[in-house]
Amino acid sequence: MLTIRNLHAQLEDEKRSILEGVDLEVSAGEVHAIMGPNGSGKSTLSYVLAGREGYEVLDGVVLLDGENLLEMEPEERAAAGLFLAFQYPVEIAGVGNMTFLRTALNAQRKARGEEPVSAADFLRLARERAKHLGIGPDLLRRPVNYGFSGGEKKRNEILQMAVLQPRMCILDETDSGLDVDAMRQVSEGVNNLRNPDRAIVLITHYQRLLDHIKPDYVHIMAKGRIVETGGPELALKVETEGYGTMTGATG
């Protein structure tokens, strides 16, 4: 589903290279975890894939279902099924959470040539999905992420994912700042979304998220590249040994 080959990217302003040849192949139905120390380029990878301004792709290819992702606008990538759960979800004052989500859903549907979802159908869908995530009606009515706690913001990201039903989900440090209960709810939410048509990439520092969401593959990222790939046991190795040996191996 997602193919990344030799991806090189830098920060436009600083001309500082951050991704130095990322290779990754993600197939439908798989869950991949990308782990790595601070500054290894994990978040940059997610931003480059989502099309955020400020990053310059110098080389490489990114294909989503065979389409050249790098040539698309951010909203076209979203309509094509790419979803990024943000590490720091943005607050938008004055815009109702449901208004935001329905506008987004119908924008995507329109881009795909589908009919808009009626208000009633949407509300039913959103409420049902929210219930599973322990999100009450109050949170649905409030402005987008406005005054939400860290855990509420992360759960709201998963709610958006559950409503938008993207095929390729990238979760950027969704576990950061979560207490035990929130971690469980978020993980359940993600696990419920696992299916043979959907792929998930988890970006995380810590192994503990992977206790809840079992990955098929674990990748270690360091200095802008994926330096090691393995199964869930690789995450446990990181837990006990740290990143030192693996990142050191690349020189």
Let me know: does 215 contact 31? Beta carbons within 8 Å.
Answer: yes
Nearest 5 degrees, angle CA 148-CA 154-CA 158? 125
Helices 180-193 and 119-132 meet at what angle, rounded to 10?
Answer: 130
Q: How far apart are CA 107 and CA 116, in angstroms?
A: 8
Per rule CB under 8 A, is residue 99 in the interface with another protein? yes
* Token pair recorded at residue 121: 């159908």
Number of residues that this document lists for the chain: 251
The piece of 103-111, 186-194, 206-214, 230-238 that touches another protein (CB under 8 A) is 103-111
Per rule CB under 8 A, is residue 195 in the interface with another protein? no
Per rule CB under 8 A, is residue 103 in the interface with another protein? yes
Residue number with CB closer to another protein (86 or 217)? 86
Q: Given candidates 21, 43, 70, 122, which one binds another protein under the rule CB under 8 A?
A: 122
Per rule CB under 8 A, is residue 148 in the interface with another protein? no
Per rule CB under 8 A, is residue 52 in the interface with another protein? yes
Per rule CB under 8 A, is residue 200 in the interface with another protein? no
Number of Cβ atoms within 10 Å of the Cβ of 249: 11
* Token pair recorded at residue 147: 């005054």
Residue number with CB closer to another protein (52 or 184)? 52
Per rule CB under 8 A, is residue 57 in the interface with another protein? no
Q: Total residues contacting another protein (rule CB under 8 A)?
A: 41
Helix/strand number for the chain, H first, E second:
10, 12
Q: Given candidates 12, 59, 71, 75, which one binds another protein under the rule CB under 8 A?
A: 75
